[in-house]
Chains A and B, each alone.
Chain A
Amino acid sequence: MQHMWNFAQLTDLIHGWLYETFPPAWALAFEMIIVGIAVIGLFAGLGLVLVLMERKVSAFMQIRLGPNRVGPKGLMQSLADTLKLLVKEGMTPDGVDRFLFNLAPFIAMIAAMLLMAPIAFAKDFQIWDLNIGVLYVTAISSLNVIAILMAGWSSNNKYSLLGAMRSGAQIVSYELSAGLSILTVVVLTGSLQISDIVTAQSNGWWIFKGHIPVLIAFVIYMIAVTAETNRAPFDMAEAESELTGGFHTEYSGMKFALFFLAEYINVFIVCAIGATLFLGGWMPLHIGEWTAFNGIMDWIPSSVWFFGKTFFLIFLMMWFRWTFPRLRIDQLLNLEWRYLLPIGMVNILLVTVIAILKWHF
């Protein structure tokens, strides 16, 4: 039964067929094209799903119905919105730095797409299982700030500039906390490779195995990535009641949509990484040596586990967004430098001690 859901068979089949039919160089090129199309498709699909989910979740919290006119239960709403944005004029205002202005949304999008590579969507279903997966993720996710700074600077708009500067300060600060909390899991696993981290959780997820320090790391991670993706209550960069639109004030049409999609993809990615590191990724809920229980859990396909956990974390982030007021920029930086970072540092020491003494389960 579970083999039916195994993506590895499908990928092996395609891989085998390509290498039989074409010379290796061509086969590799075709594989790259297939992967590229799959990533773009996933990118667009996830964007649509997440936008719709955000609108439905916010509607639920705000005693509204949310989109309910286009398609059954409003399911086609975000498709219609995207189509509208696609056919809109790609306007470039006068007085902007045209090259950087037009480049910025693509950098945001490319950074988001690159982050898809090391994520294990299901058992044996991963684009690129590189041995420094976690490092790769932290490195590439920093690229996003370049896009935002570029957009804010080139827009020739003071609101954009303020938004971009805020965002720069914010992302650079919170990256530290996010990095430290990711490190806790790396220390426990002893590997930076995503597949190793997932396999290490086959007898229980790190959030359960790692005692309270890992729980603290998880909480810090969630706070830090909410700030890193510029979402409320840390949406300083946009802060529409203060800065109208923040860094994307001057953007419209598809260029705006790319920023918008990139934001949602970033949300998906940070939640996916969070789910992988702390909640076991595609690994079903296993408890130690309870073979019977573990066997039952294995019947649920690994992709369902992965997406279930990821979407649960995404829901958490949406919940934050629609219930909390926004922090002020100085309070935001205080929170990071005065509280999260010191706690994170002490926490990683504790985790290191736990890992050395093998106190974790």
Chain B
Amino acid sequence: MVEEIGTTDKGELIINVGPQHPATHGVLHLVITLDGETVRKVEPHLGYIHRSIEKMSESLSYRQFIYATSRMDYLSAHINNHACAMAVEKGLQLEVPERAQVIRVLMGELTRIASHVLWWGAMAMDIGAFTPFFHAFREREMINDIMEESCGARLTMNYMVPGGVMYDIHPNFHRRVKEFIAQFKRKLPEYDELVTGNTIFRARTRGVGVLSKEDAISYGCSGPTGRASGVDCDIRKVQPYGIYDRLDFRQIIGKEGDTYSRYLVRMQEMRQSLHIIEQLIDNIPEGDFQAKTKAVLKVPKGEYYSRVETARGDFGVYLVSEGGLTPYRIKYRSPGFSNLSALDHTVRGQKIGDLVAIMGSFDLVIPDIDR
């Protein structure tokens, strides 16, 4: 246990960053050891927002437990729900209608864009530029409006049910998404102008916080954080689910593994997500939006695993059923936790300002880490 206040015997300062700190975006608590401005050690302390979602899920029915995961990585609530719904569908061997599949992917990609857009603003804010945050929210707001109309909520959408989606899409959905595509295509170059091309931003991120491919693999980094280091880990490509195997999109892989390449990977991913949405929006098939299911679901005895690519990486649901009304045991594999574990290794020897930039580029969502 590190002494909470004071200095080490080498005369290094020990500082608590968080649980209330502007850069941790939530209640993450980092105990950092500083030698002047240089970070010697980072020790994350977790548990401030632990709600024991896994245990709670054991007492919720197969229809209900899905929505607990909305409260984990709240920025990709949709995609988390998708993984849970898929685990239950595997157990029940449900065939999901084509229309529902397309809607799920559409919503998932919109969520991914919304999440990345928010990350973009927050990352710029961590580095000290305020204005991008508000520009990011302008686009995020459009997606939230789309979600609100079709799902009834803006943040924790709770739209997925085993066998499809809860309601059919709103009549305005098509028009609104089209509007969003047009707007976002116009604004993306502006994002690049405002942040990507900025000399100060490049100086702050290039070569900062390099995570090698080997380290990324050994820490279990996934999502844009892993891919920026060159790990080929996009679940949508590696282990396609839903209709992703039929879609045309690229897996974005970076080389350097520094903060800048993590930034670029996410910027490119937004374009790929937009491309996926463009392919699907005019081709939503007619038909049911939900498979016929029994009123009370009972998943046969067995173990089921499903994984999806959330905005932060590889999200896995491991579901053990004893054949009862509720899951026997649930284990979630959250991307944020593994990504956070690489933080100490990446930050050592960098400056305090870099710590903030690197944390921003990892795109940590604290409820996802603590669960």
Q: Which residues of chain A in 54-100 are interfacial with respect to chain B, using CB atoms and an 8 Å cutoff?
A: 58, 61-64
Q: A158-B13, A241-B125 are in contact. Are A325 and B353 (CB under 8 A)?
A: no
Does B48 lie at the interface of the complex (its beta carbon under 8 Å from any beta carbon of A)? no
Q: Are A328 and B204 in contact (CB under 8 A)?
A: yes
Q: Are B351 and A62 in contact (CB under 8 A)?
A: no
Q: How far is the CB of B162 from chain A (nearest CB, A)?
A: 41
Q: Are B194 and A241 in contact (CB under 8 A)?
A: no
Q: Which residues of A contact B13 (CB under 8 A)?
A: 158
Q: Which residues of A contact B124 (CB under 8 A)?
A: 325
Q: Are B131 and A239 in contact (CB under 8 A)?
A: no
Across the interface, A233 reaches (CB within 8 A) one of B15, B125, B128, namely: B128
Q: Are B356 and A241 in contact (CB under 8 A)?
A: yes
Q: Are B131 and A328 in contact (CB under 8 A)?
A: no
Complexed CA–CA distance, A64 and B134 (Å): 8
CB contacts between A and B, total, < 8 Å:
80
Q: Are B200 and A242 in contact (CB under 8 A)?
A: no
Does B295 lie at the interface of the complex (its beta carbon under 8 Å from any beta carbon of A)? no
Does B138 lie at the interface of the complex (its beta carbon under 8 Å from any beta carbon of A)? yes
Complexed CA–CA distance, A330 and B351 (Å): 9
Q: How far is the CB of A238 from chain B (nearest CB, A)?
A: 10
Q: Are B138 and A328 in contact (CB under 8 A)?
A: no
Q: Are A63 and B37 in contact (CB under 8 A)?
A: no
B residues contacting the other copy or chain, number (CB 8 A): 32
Does B181 lie at the interface of the complex (its beta carbon under 8 Å from any beta carbon of A)? no
Does B352 lie at the interface of the complex (its beta carbon under 8 Å from any beta carbon of A)? yes
Give chain B's interface secondary structure class: helix
Q: Which residues of A contact B356 (CB under 8 A)?
A: 241-242
Does B201 lie at the interface of the complex (its beta carbon under 8 Å from any beta carbon of A)? yes
Q: Are B22 and A240 in contact (CB under 8 A)?
A: yes
Q: Are A325 and B134 in contact (CB under 8 A)?
A: no
Complexed CA–CA distance, A322 and B128 (Å): 9
Q: Are A328 and B354 in contact (CB under 8 A)?
A: yes
Q: Are B198 and A324 in contact (CB under 8 A)?
A: yes
Does B195 lie at the interface of the complex (its beta carbon under 8 Å from any beta carbon of A)? yes
Q: A62-B135, A63-B134, A239-B128 are in contact. Are A325 and B201 (CB under 8 A)?
A: yes
Q: A234 — nearest CB in chain B belongs to which residue?
A: B128
Q: Are B128 and A329 in contact (CB under 8 A)?
A: no
A residues contacting the other copy or chain, number (CB 8 A): 28
Q: Are B135 and A63 in contact (CB under 8 A)?
A: yes
Across the interface, A244 reaches (CB within 8 A) one of B21, B204, B353, namely: B21
Q: Are B22 and A241 in contact (CB under 8 A)?
A: yes
Across the interface, B200 reaches (CB within 8 A) one of A162, A239, A327, namely: A327
Q: Which residues of chain A in 321-340 are interfacial with respect to chain B, using CB atoms and an 8 Å cutoff?
A: 322-331
Q: Are B22 and A328 in contact (CB under 8 A)?
A: no
Q: Which residues of A contact B129 (CB under 8 A)?
A: 323-326
Q: A241-B125, A242-B23, A244-B21 are in contact. Are A329 and B353 (CB under 8 A)?
A: yes
What mask results when residues 115 to 136 of chain B are scored 1 for a CB within 8 Å of chain A, else 0? 0000000001111111101110
Across the interface, A331 reaches (CB within 8 A) one of B126, B131, B135, B203, namely: B203
Q: Which residues of A contact B37 (CB under 8 A)?
A: 162, 166, 329-330
Complexed CA–CA distance, A152 and B34 (Å): 17
Q: Which residues of B contact A325 (CB under 8 A)?
A: 124, 127-129, 195, 198, 200-201, 204
Does A159 lie at the interface of the complex (its beta carbon under 8 Å from any beta carbon of B)? yes
What mask results when residues 155 to 193 of chain A are scored 1 for a CB within 8 Å of chain B, else 0? 000110010001000000000000000000000000000
Complexed CA–CA distance, A235 and B351 (Å): 16
Q: Which residues of A contact B134 (CB under 8 A)?
A: 62-64
Q: Which residues of chain B in 181-228 are interfacial with respect to chain A, using CB atoms and an 8 Å cutoff?
A: 194-195, 198, 200-201, 203-204
Complexed CA–CA distance, A158 and B15 (Å): 7
Q: Which residues of A contact B200 (CB under 8 A)?
A: 233, 324-327
Q: How far is the CB of A157 from chain B (nearest CB, A)?
A: 10
Does A232 lie at the interface of the complex (its beta carbon under 8 Å from any beta carbon of B)? yes
Q: Which residues of chain B in 268-289 are interfacial with respect to chain A, using CB atoms and an 8 Å cutoff?
A: none
Q: How far is the CB of B205 from chain A (nearest CB, A)?
A: 9
Q: Which residues of B contact A158 (CB under 8 A)?
A: 13, 15
Complexed CA–CA distance, A327 and B200 (Å): 6
Across the interface, B130 reaches (CB within 8 A) one of A62, A159, A330, A331, namely: A62
What mask results when residues 22 to 62 of chain B are scored 1 for a CB within 8 Å of chain A, else 0? 11000000000010010000000000000000000000000
Q: B24 — nearest CB in chain A belongs to which residue?
A: A241
Q: A233-B200, A244-B21, A328-B354 are in contact. Are A323 and B128 (CB under 8 A)?
A: no
Q: Which residues of A contact B131 (CB under 8 A)?
A: 58, 61-62, 322-323
Q: Which residues of B contact A232 (CB under 8 A)?
A: 128
Q: Which residues of B contact A324 (CB under 8 A)?
A: 128-129, 198, 200
Q: Are A235 and B128 in contact (CB under 8 A)?
A: yes
Q: How far is the CB of A79 from chain B (nearest CB, A)?
A: 24
Q: Which residues of B contact A233 (CB under 8 A)?
A: 128, 200
Q: Are B138 and A239 in contact (CB under 8 A)?
A: no
Residue from the set A235, A243, A325 with the largest chain B CB neighbour count within 10 Å: A325
Q: Are B135 and A241 in contact (CB under 8 A)?
A: no
Q: Which residues of chain A in 9-63 are interfacial with respect to chain B, using CB atoms and an 8 Å cutoff?
A: 58, 61-63
Q: How far is the CB of A259 from chain B (nearest CB, A)?
A: 18
Q: Are A159 and B128 in contact (CB under 8 A)?
A: no
Give A contacts to B, CB under 8 Å.
58, 61-64, 158-159, 162, 166, 232-233, 235, 239-244, 322-331
Can you list 19 A-B pairs with a CB-CB distance of less than 8 A? A63-B134, A63-B135, A162-B37, A162-B352, A166-B37, A233-B200, A241-B22, A241-B23, A241-B126, A242-B352, A242-B356, A243-B352, A244-B22, A323-B131, A325-B127, A325-B201, A326-B353, A327-B204, A328-B204
Give B contacts to A, CB under 8 Å.
13, 15, 21-23, 34, 37, 124-131, 133-135, 138, 194-195, 198, 200-201, 203-204, 351-356
Q: Which 10 A-B pairs have the closest CB atoms?
A: A326-B128, A62-B134, A325-B129, A328-B353, A325-B127, A241-B23, A325-B128, A241-B126, A325-B200, A325-B201
Known contacts A241-B128, A325-B124, A327-B204; 5 additional CB pairs below 8 A are A162-B352, A242-B23, A326-B200, A330-B351, A331-B204
